[in-house]
Chain A
Amino acid sequence: MAQSATMTRSGIGIAALRGVRQQLGIILALVLLLIVSSLLNDRFLTVPNLLNVLRQVAIVGILAIGQTYVILTKGIDLSVGSILGLSVVLFAGLIEGQALAVAIPLGLAAGVVMGALNGLGVAFARIPAFIMTLGMLSFARGLAFIYTGGTPIPILNETYYYIGNGRIFGLPIPAIILLATLVVAALSLRVTPFGRCVYGIGSNEDAARLSGVPVRRYTLAVYVISGLCAAIAGLVYSSQLGVGTPIAGQAYELDSIAAVVVGGTSLFGGKGSVIGTFIGTLIIGVLANILNLTGVDPFVQQLFKGALIVVAVYIMSRSGQS
């Protein structure tokens, strides 16, 4: 018994190392990308450009954080782009008549409600997540079009515009929102019972149920979180552009999924992290940025992005087997 005790003590060290090592692969990939990028273009490695990258990835980054929760439970949320679109037009419309302190919570609440509908469908009616959120993709987009009548709503509120374009201590506010969301999400997944259960549900739903995990309630919760993240992203989007357009966020669900899988989260559930997702978001964002800086044709850029997703996931699945 003494022997096993010493083994466990050194085991904690090994566990910590392994945790870093799992993240290490994508961190290295990001560092490599940064080095290559800075060699390709001198404007790349400047503070203004890097802050710009952070500002640009904020929207997809926030979506991807919510998406991570869902994918960790072995689900998928295809509706985040549409929920973003719905919240964008609601923010734009509500700001005209209401105080910001009213309009913003209402817009966020719309994301929560749409997410809750997804969650009820998946967790309680047992509709496959793919189907439920595919339906919501169309439904929420439809609501956005109905609300606007199809024409964009201009946003004339200076304070609101500042949220998307201002800076605090030199940091773009969208980047601050992204980082704040990231910190809250990382903590909730690592050091709360809820977060542990999210991993448990994704790893083995039956075992989670047998362990007394309220599987349905927590499954509902991850879709609510994803909906809320989509609305937060919608806040950033509408305040950045200063206009509420019903087509906002089209196909963003795919970008968010790409960021999650490049970040090392398994589509089979129970494995991954929001830190990984953040790094995945950065890798995709930095790649887009350097391709822009070096003047690569936008059409060709699509090829790079596509190849990156497939190659990244291929490499991770290979290393995961060892």
Chain B
Amino acid sequence: MSSEDRKPTHLQARGVSKSFEGNTVLREVDLAVASGEIHAVVGENGAGKSTLMKILGGVYAPDSGNLAIANQPYRPRSPKDAIDHGLVVIHQEFSLTPHLSAEENIFLGHYPVTRYGTVDRRAMRERTLQLLERLSIRIDPGTPVTSLSVAQQQMVEIAKALSLDARALILDEPTAVLDEENVEVLFRVLRRLREEGLAIVYISHHLEEIFEIADKVTVLRDGAKTGSADVNEIDHDWLVARMIGRGFPDHRSQSRKHGEVALEVSGLTRKGKFEDISFFVRRGEIVALAGLVGAGRSEIAQAIFGLHRPDAGTMRVFGRVRRIRNPGAATRLGIAYTPEDRKSHGLFLNRPTSENITMSVLKRFYRFPIMRLRHERAFVERMVASLDVRLPGLGAEVRNLSGGNQQKVLLARSLAAEPKILLLDEPTRGVDIGAKQEIYDFIEQLVGQGMAIVLISSEMEEILRLADRIIVLRRGRIARTMDRTEASEDAMMKAAALSQATPA
């Protein structure tokens, strides 16, 4: 389909850059999408895809660079402004109002009105049916959105975009919520819209889908464009090479001494989240769970930690079969978990650092009737010093600390309980390079002392740097297990993103 080149460019970005608080997330990115073209934008987590979409959709203004629609300068000031320019973004989280019907959602904000100023329900019904017909989709327009399946809700979103006369459509990971059958339906609809001449931007990290649906592809890595091509002129390797870059990360030099098996799970299953997960981790060893966002990695860690009960499978802690019913029980067995989203699940943001660190071990400082605050303070000071947390004072609210220091506080709380098994979920997300290095060094130190660590990370380099063994998950199942000697970003990406993992 390289004849696409002759079609006129509809949506264009040139030299777009954006940074947040000194962190550059987009660097001089170009994108050109023609009418009647499906243009995939791919990249690892954090490559800058979402930011680019938010700039196109009017959520953020770029720091520099130009946008154009149909060769006219385009400077959206809000999502509404973008819609007025015929550009609609369909997010992973739908923006539907659950208790209104499908047709009411489609026309929310631009209801057809009668000459008395009331909603013209007949016109609304008629136009809804036309839209659904255009998409070849069967949905009763009067059904409340809550009673529709996720796939149907997505179609309502698309119908809504069409009702707004969209000429450009941006879909963010549209298949993440769909099963295979509905993926086919979606693709059929997208092909039809392409025929109608819409410019479609398709964001995904499932590489096989790109070859099935897209005409062109643009690859982002670390906020910069690393390639752009016609899909029928490239192959998987071309994509993967541009997604992960060429620099081979430095493995640590010393090898680790592994001890007894600390944690072993077998056949662990939680319906709809993960299935038949079996692995073990020894003392003095780091096992990484790799995979794309949504592959079930965090859910596995949470099941081990007793936060959600698995449907099947067994867990052994130091050889003994254990059933862990809640986080308190996990803590008593020597398991600690540092959650991935420190702000929403991890920290007590409006409480002092000291309270954040000791929350899981308060009883240790309690001799009836009161807590020994001096002992607690001494303990907190030791933790703060050993992790080198930098803060204005132990009483400072955690929300005022930098990301790196917040992450260290979270780590300090996990370690306060003196665990033997540590589940680390994205331990360096959103922290600066310096803090990252310090956290790595600290993790090395823990492993050296015989800690068994399960590391969940979306950063391939982080996994390659830290892990002894790597388990790659794909849609809730183990796709591949590899040793650090045979691991590479290339192999991990292929196993995580492709259905048939080919041996590296």
Give chain A's interface residues, CB within 8 Å of chain B.
Answer: 1, 4-5, 7-16, 18-19, 187, 191-193, 196-197, 199-200, 203-204, 206-214, 266, 270-271
Contacts and interface: CB of A to CB of B under 8 A. Distances in A.
Interface in B437-482: none
Given A4-B385, A5-B385, A8-B385, A15 B345 contact: no
Interface residues of B, number: 45
Nearest to A203: B348
B362 A207 contact: no
Contacts of B502: none
Contacts of B394: 8, 11-12, 15
B395 A204 contact: no
Interface stretch (B93-101, B143-151, B350-358): B350-358
11 contacts: A12-B394, A191-B373, A192-B371, A193-B366, A196-B355, A207-B339, A207-B346, A211-B360, A212-B328, A212-B360, A213-B360
B347 interface: yes
Given A8-B381, A209-B307, A14 B351 contact: no
B349 A200 contact: no
Closest 8 CB pairs of A and B: A15-B395, A11-B393, A193-B362, A212-B328, A203-B348, A14-B393, A191-B370, A211-B360
Contacts of B327: 209-212
Contacts of A18: 393, 395
Given A206-B344, A212-B327, A4 B389 contact: yes
B358 to A, nearest CB: 8
A303 B18 CA distance: 52
Interface of B: 305, 307, 326-328, 330-331, 337, 339, 344-352, 354-355, 358-360, 362-363, 366, 369-371, 373, 377, 381, 384-385, 388-396, 413, 417
B328 to A, nearest CB: 4
| A7, A209, A211: most-surrounded residue (chain B CB, <10 A) | A211
A214 B328 contact: yes
Given A16-B395, A207-B346, A266-B350, 19 more contacts: A4-B390, A5-B385, A8-B394, A11-B396, A12-B394, A14-B395, A15-B394, A18-B393, A187-B369, A193-B363, A203-B350, A204-B347, A204-B348, A204-B349, A207-B359, A209-B307, A210-B327, A212-B330, A213-B359
Q: Chain B's interface: helix, strand, loop or mixed, by majority? A: mixed
| A10, A15, A212, A270: most-surrounded residue (chain B CB, <10 A) | A212
Contact of B359 (A7, A13, A19, A211): A211
Contacts of A212: 326-328, 330-331, 360, 417
| A199, A204, A209, A210: most-surrounded residue (chain B CB, <10 A) | A210
B390 A7 contact: yes
Given A8-B381, A8-B384, A14-B395, A208 B359 contact: yes
| B337, B354, B373, B393: most-surrounded residue (chain A CB, <10 A) | B393
Contacts of B393: 7-8, 10-15, 18
